[in-house]
Amino acid sequence: MTDTVLGSCAIEFRNKEPARELIEEAGFQFLYSPGKAPWPDDETREKLAGFAAIIAGGENFTPRTMELAENLKIIARNGVGYDSVQLDACTERGIVVTNTPGAMADAVADHAMALLLATVRNIVPGDQSVKSGNYSVEISEDLCSMTLGLFGCGHIGAEVVRRARGFKMRVLVHDPYIDPEKLEEIGAVPVSRQKILAESDVISLHLPMSDENAEFVNADFLATMKPGSYLINTARGKLIDEKALIDALSSEHLAGAGLDCQATEPPVGTSLELVQMPRVVAMPHSASSTTTARERMSIVAAESIVDCLQGRIPKFVVNRQVLEQLDLT
């Protein structure tokens, strides 16, 4: 019986479907099942039944949603983050989980710089001023006179460094998992948490979402930031204590924030209050929403599926403990 692959993400780009082609050329069937993205838990539970693999969006993969997925061998996340996947539950069931690091790095780095420019150069209020007939905007600052601080410097962070250096910004990075020499090679200065908070005019977050990183940006973090500085987030909304950020913006300790993501999406409650603030530029979690990035992501996800179903170890396995249970080479 031929294994069948399920897709929850859009896979057509420029009138082509490279992910489907890869999967079908390898001898597997592919079914794209569009619907509300991400699927609600009940829908995920029902749709997974009988499938061997899935190119997954932001669906929740829990013991309950995987209850009927007796044939599921791999969850190929169409993205970098995997906070919606319970890795322990997948490992226990022998399900490989992969992601697509690097595939969206350029797109997200561009977006981070766009948010940085929009906040620092008052792009949104300037646009509103022109359209309303006022024709004025607050004075801003040259990027070359500013210091950018990054928390986290993987594929995306490294691309942000390269772009910021193109604007002649001084770039500081705090990432204990990256070799300091590698950071220096791309033009960044590895520093302590205390130094990056004290000296950065703009701080940009490039961290994975985890229990440990939940509300990484809290009241103490914000209070330690340089007065009049900016916060950029293109990672995950729950990295930020949003009530604390509202307070920091209301008191004008922070000059502004550029937020691609929120703790609740679409925003409600505190998240909605935050994005409606005049000094916040908000986007609908769309940093990777470019044709090139999405095409790259789908191809990497499809390659992971083909490798797994053909008995090979995929390149980007997240729960590597599962490999001990499987006969992959």
What residues act catalytically? 236, 265, 285
- Neighbouring CB atoms inside 10 A of 131's CB total 9
Could you give the CA distance from residue 55 to residue 62 in angstroms, rounded to a whole number?
16
| Cβ-Cβ contacts under 8 Å for 131 (sequence gap 6 or more) | none
What b/e sequence results for 143-152 when a residue is b if at least 16 CB atoms lie within 10 Å of its CB, and e otherwise? beebbbbbbb
In this structure, what DSSP letter does residue 59 have? -
Amino acid identity, residue 261? C
Which tokens sit at 119?
């906040």
Q: Which two tokens stand for residue 275?
A: 């994005």
Sheet holding 170-174, edge to edge: 189-190, 170-174, 147-151, 202-205, 229-233, 254-259, 280-282
Q: CB–CB of 264/271 below 8 Å?
A: yes
Rounded to whole angstroms, the Cα distance separating 279 from 257 reads 7
Under 8 Å between Cβ of 299 and 276: no
Instruction: Show Cβ contacts of residue 54 under 8 Å, excluding neighbours closer than 6 positions.
Output: 5, 6, 7, 8, 48, 72, 74, 75, 76
Pairing of strands 74-77, 170-174: unpaired
Alpha carbons 65 and 211: distance in angstroms, whole number = 21
